[in-house]
Amino acid sequence: MLVDISINDLGVIRHSSAELSEGLTVLTGETGAGKTMVVTGLRLLAGGRADASRVRDGAKKAVVEGHFSSTKESISQLVESVGGEPDENGEFIVSRTVSAAGRSRAYLGGRAVPAATLGDFAREIITVHGQNDQLRLLSPEEQLGAVDRADPRLAGIREDYAEAFQKWRSLARDYRRRTESRRELAQEADRLQYALEEIDGVAPEPGEDAKLVQLVQRLQDVDGLRESAHTALAAIDGTEELDEAASSLLGRAGSALGGSPDNRLSDLGDRIFEITSQLGDISAELGGYLAGLPADPTLLEKSLQRQQALRALTRKYASDIDGVLAWRDEAESKLQSMDTSAEVLEELKVQVKEAEEEMMRKAAELTKGRRKAAQVLGKLVTEELHGLAMPNSTLTVKLSTAKYSKTGADSAELQLNGKQLATAASGGELSRVMLALEVVLASEDGATLVFDEVDAGVGGRAAVEIGRRLARLAAHNQVIVVTHLPQVAAYADAHLHVSKDKFTSGVAELSAQERVEELARMLAGLDDTDTGRAHAQELFDRAQKEASARLTQVAD
């Protein structure tokens, strides 16, 4: 649900904000006051295309911000995946800026994201219906999607089919690739096999090249290292030729001072004994170091030869041995997919056939479900159209067989009185068809539905019916409607008015009395007459009473 929205420097709106509640909210105002800019702002929050021409004249950028509330786990996961988080109220802040130069920036949960990410976020929580959306309804994809929405059980069937279709297509492509490019694959397989044998012949270990560098350097300096360590050890421990060893001399000095009655000399003796102890540790480490020095005179030559073998691999396959081993694993996996032997091709052919049969079975199941859903959808939408002052109209769904694709083996066409919607419906009729579909297909998950002048070209009784259906739709969803019809506005739970002074516009929520005055204005400008206000009051009271009764029925 959209909790609130703020708009800065978008079109004629300098700065305005509005809190939005559950139920039905209408936006009204004079032509040119900026109602469309509110919908434009919502489209920007939904990841829509940014248009620099929408930035208010003289401003550097336009900014739109919205706070959304949702308990959907998928919404939380999406925000978390981009590094965003809810605010202290548990709401998700979405914002969009558009500079006068045309640059656009999007933010979700406090983190910068691509505009497409806002589209993914909005797809779960808000739907905007306008003239462009009516045109989108005419596309075969949208019409097939409407059929699938008509029966919640179809979602799982369609998903199962999509998995089967993807498996079949992947296997079929692999089989076609192996058969059509058999010679090229065989040549590539020989090359990879030779490379694998060359690498396996050397049998490198991870990180071996770096270890060899250290070992070779050590072996090249081994004589000097041995002499340095031996000289130091001899000085500490002494030799047959050198009786006065450092350890002995220090021991004698410590003994001479250790028993002194003078505390100062005694302390110095203790310090000498500490040095003597450390010298013993150093002596032991030097002994171990000497014992660990390579004694094999041929080891250096062997190491240099091994180093050359490894370098031969790194020159061909990667910059280091770890890269060579990674290349080898990838090549081995690739080699398995290049097997073009008769046995492998025959086995793969069988797998393709089995996958195709499974896909066709699931497609048939999907088609069967769609045919039932199409009949139900046509019946329910027709009933809604009759209530929307189209008593002689019948909506049917024509399902036809189509080429297998990720959506199944069906194509759908919504028909009005047996003809395509595009040719059979006027602009006003198309608006009512779209509204009827939304009423029939709407879920009860608290989504936000935005209708931008869905009542265009409608009046009289049809306008009242549109108001009723929007109110019914708002029983379980947040519905925001831009309208010019008082019959629709009268059913609203909240009424926002967009007003314009000389240069800028603002949005304000109307009180009950102000709503009546606005309805009177919408009734052909009768706000300055007692008759007009009385008519508006009657319209308002009747619609509110009806809406209240419907809410009571829903609650019961």
Cα angle 182-184-189, degrees, rounded to a multiple of 5? 90
What is the percentage of the chain residues whose pLDDT exceeds 70? 92
223 located within any domain: yes
First CA to last CA distance, the chain: 23
Is residue 373 within 8 A of residue 154, CB to CB? The reply is yes
Tell me which residue of 191, 201, 165, 199 sits closest to 338, measured CA to CA.
191
What phi and psi, each to the nearest 5 degrees, are found at residue 265?
-70, -35
pLDDT at 27 over 70: yes
Determine the pLDDT at residue 132. 62
Name the residue with higher pLDDT: 556 or 486.
Answer: 486
pTM of the model: 0.65
pLDDT per residue over 115-140, tens digit each? 999 999 988 888 887 666 666 677 88
Determine the pLDDT at residue 463. 83
Q: In the structure encoding, which two tokens stand for residue 300, read together?
A: 């250096």
Determine the pLDDT at residue 61. 94
Task: Name the DSSP class of 308.
Answer: H
Report the C-alpha gap between 533 and 59 in whole angstroms: 40
pLDDT per residue over 170-215, tens digit each? 999 988 887 766 777 777 777 888 888 889 998 999 998 888 888 8
282 located within any domain: yes
Q: How many C-beta atoms surround the C-beta of residue 122 within 10 A?
A: 21
Is residue 543 within 8 A of residue 469, CB to CB? The reply is no
pLDDT at 237 over 70: yes
Q: What is the DSSP code string of 158-203?
A: HHHHHHHHHHHHHHHHHHHHHHHTHHHHHHHHHHHHHHHHHHHHH-
Task: Return the minimum-mean-pLDDT range out of 51-60, 454-463, 475-484.
Answer: 454-463
Task: Find the mean pLDDT for residues 79-90.
Answer: 91
Range with the largest mean pLDDT of 308-312, 527-531, 550-554: 308-312
Q: How many C-beta atoms surround the C-beta of residue 486 within 10 A?
A: 26
pLDDT at 428 over 80: no
**Boundaries of domain holding 296:** 208-319
Name the residue with higher pLDDT: 401 or 252.
Answer: 401
Task: Find the mean pLDDT for residues 291-320.
Answer: 83
pLDDT per residue over 373-407, tens digit each? 999 999 999 999 988 878 899 999 999 999 999 99
Look-up: residue for tokens 């999007």? 106
Tell me which residue of 280, 281, 216 sits closest to 247, measured CA to CA.
280
Is residue 515 within 8 A of residue 494, CB to CB? The reply is no
Tell me which residue of 37, 10, 11, 48 sits closest to 136, measured CA to CA.
48
Task: Find the mean pLDDT for residues 315-326.
Answer: 91
284 located within any domain: yes
Q: What is the DSSP code string of 471-514?
A: HHHTTTSEEEEE---HHHHTT-SEEEEEEE-SS-EEEEE--HHH
What is the percentage of the chain residues whose pLDDT exceeds 90? 34
243 located within any domain: yes
Task: Return the minimum-mean-pLDDT range out of 252-261, 330-339, 453-462.
Answer: 453-462
Range with the largest mean pLDDT of 217-221, 256-260, 515-519: 515-519
176 located within any domain: no
Cα angle 321-325-329, degrees, rounded to a multiple of 5? 165
Determine the pLDDT at residue 410. 96
87 located within any domain: no
From residue 283, give the alpha-carbon distance in Å to each of 251, 273, 345: 15, 15, 70
Task: Find the mean pLDDT for residues 473-478.
Answer: 88
Beta bridge partners of 107: 95, 112
Task: Return the minimum-mean-pLDDT range out of 16-20, 156-160, 246-250.
Answer: 246-250
For 418: left if phi > 0, alpha if psi spans -120 to 50, otherwise beta; the answer is left
Is residue 459 within 8 A of residue 466, CB to CB? The reply is no
Is residue 193 within 8 A of residue 334, CB to CB? The reply is no
295 located within any domain: yes
Determine the pLDDT at residue 448. 87
Query: Residues near 464 by Cβ (< 8 Å), separated by ≥ 6?
Result: 487
Q: How many C-beta atoms surround the C-beta of residue 309 within 10 A?
A: 12
306 located within any domain: yes
Determine the pLDDT at residue 445. 66
Number of structural domains, the chain?
A: 1
Q: In the structure encoding, which two tokens stand for residue 257, read together?
A: 């001072």
Cα angle 407-410-411, degrees, rounded to a multiple of 5? 100
Name the residue with higher pLDDT: 515 or 430.
Answer: 515
Mean pLDDT of the chain: 85
**pLDDT grade, residue 513 (50/70/90)?**
very high
Report the C-alpha gap between 169 and 177 in whole angstroms: 12
Task: Return the minimum-mean-pLDDT range out of 4-8, 416-420, 510-514, 527-531.
Answer: 527-531
Beta bridge partners of 419: 416
Report the C-alpha gap between 322 and 328 in whole angstroms: 10
